[in-house]
Amino acid sequence: GQQVMQIPQYQHVQEGEDFTTYCNSSTTLSNIQWYKQRPGGHPVFLIQLVKSGEVKKQKRLTFQFGEAKKNSSLHITATQTTDVGTYFCAGRMRYNFNKFYFGSGTKLNVKP
Amino acid sequence: DTGVSQDPRHKITKRGQNVTFRCDPISEHNRLYWYRQTLGQGPEFLTYFQNEAQLEKSRLLSDRFSAERPKGSFSTLEIQRTEQGDSAMYLCASSAPPGTVLRDTQYFGPGTRLTVL
């Protein structure tokens, strides 16, 4: 079964509004990564979180890793049209370092 | 650093034919992953190489799929007796060795889009 769940599937926002996508795992993760895939493109690495409760920021993007290392979120403040794309989380389980489980992604559309 | 390259970019084949895809990772990367991505889904793990050793293979992968990385550099993914359900984007990603900066970052190639008629 699917190891990493991601919600919502789609999000349509007006430019300037905030956006959040959530990722949940049924088992404890070793680390979690976030990727962005533009339409017609390939996934591009954004960030990796490793520590329990970790919070990292990249300009308008804020990434969080839950205390139990089972959930994560990506929050974008004041979206811009350049933020359009699909955001994926990818978790690596504590018991297997050889593979990453990707969420199904959240497709973000930003209306100008 | 020329990035990860994949060849071909597109492949159209008839059901029952064999196809082979190639991935050239970033030169100093010893770890290589293959994924399959269908429309509206996230990349699905297929297999993982560390140098030339295939250390992990998805149980979802039937015996029609095989991957190699003979010299620890480029890799090939072969699908035998293709089926319409194999139609997808096949992505390759590579990562730097442990102990290096951004060692776990996966750099994806542009993918090979397979259409099975």
pLDDT in tens, B40-83: 999 999 999 999 999 999 987 778 999 999 988 999 999 999 99
Distance from CA of A79 to the nearest CA of B (A): 22
DSSP A71: E
Nearest to B104 among A48, A102, A104 (CB): A48
Judge whether A52 and A67 are in contact, CB under 8 Å: yes
Q: Provide mean pLDDT across the span B107-114.
A: 97
Can you tell me the distance from the alpha carbon of A94 to that of A32, in angstroms, rounded to the nearest whole number? 11
Sequence-distant (6+) residues with CB within 8 A of B66 are B77, B78, B80
Sequence-distant (6+) residues with CB within 8 A of A40 are none
Partner-chain contact A42 B105, CB within 8 Å: no
The encoded tokens of residue B70 equal 């003979």
Instruction: Give the CA count within 13 Å in the CB-facing half-sphere of B84.
Output: 1
Chain B, nearest residue to A87 by Cα: B42
The string of pLDDT tens digits covering residues B4-36 is 999 999 999 999 999 999 999 999 899 999 999
Per-residue pLDDT of chain A (112 residues; tens, 9 = 90+): 558 999 999 999 999 999 999 999 999 999 999 999 999 999 999 999 999 999 999 999 999 999 999 999 999 999 999 999 999 999 998 888 889 999 999 999 999 9
Nearest to A101 among B45, B55, B106 (CB): B45
The string of pLDDT tens digits covering residues A73-95 is 999 999 999 999 999 999 998 88
- What pLDDT does residue B108 have? 97
Partner-chain contact B40 A104, CB within 8 Å: yes
Can you tell me the distance from the alpha carbon of B41 to that of B48, in angstroms, rounded to the nearest whole number? 20
> What percentage of chain B exceeds 90 in pLDDT?
83
- What pLDDT does residue B41 have? 94
Partner-chain contact B105 A48, CB within 8 Å: yes
Cβ neighbours of A41 in B, within 8 Å: 110
Q: Which residue from B82, B80, B83, B75 is spatially nearest to B35, judged by alpha carbons?
A: B75
Radius of gyration over alpha carbons of chain A, in Å? 13
Sequence-distant (6+) residues with CB within 8 A of B93 are A43, B4, B32, B33, B35, B106, B107, B108, B109
β-bridge pairing B107-108 and B88-95: antiparallel
User: Residue B47: beta bridge partners?
Assistant: B34, B57
Distance from CA of A52 to the nearest CA of B (A): 18
Nearest to A42 among B40, B44, B108 (CB): B108
Can you tell me the distance from the alpha carbon of B69 to that of B12, in angstroms, rounded to the nearest whole number? 24
Judge whether A94 and A30 are in contact, CB under 8 Å: yes
- What pLDDT does residue B71 have? 87
Distance from CA of B42 to the nearest CA of A (A): 4
Judge whether B33 and B90 are in contact, CB under 8 Å: no
The encoded tokens of residue A111 equal 């209306």
User: Residue B21: beta bridge partners?
Assistant: B77
Chain A, nearest residue to B6 by Cα: A42
Partner-chain contact A105 B109, CB within 8 Å: no
Can you tell me the distance from the alpha carbon of A31 to that of A52, in angstroms, rounded to the nearest whole number? 9
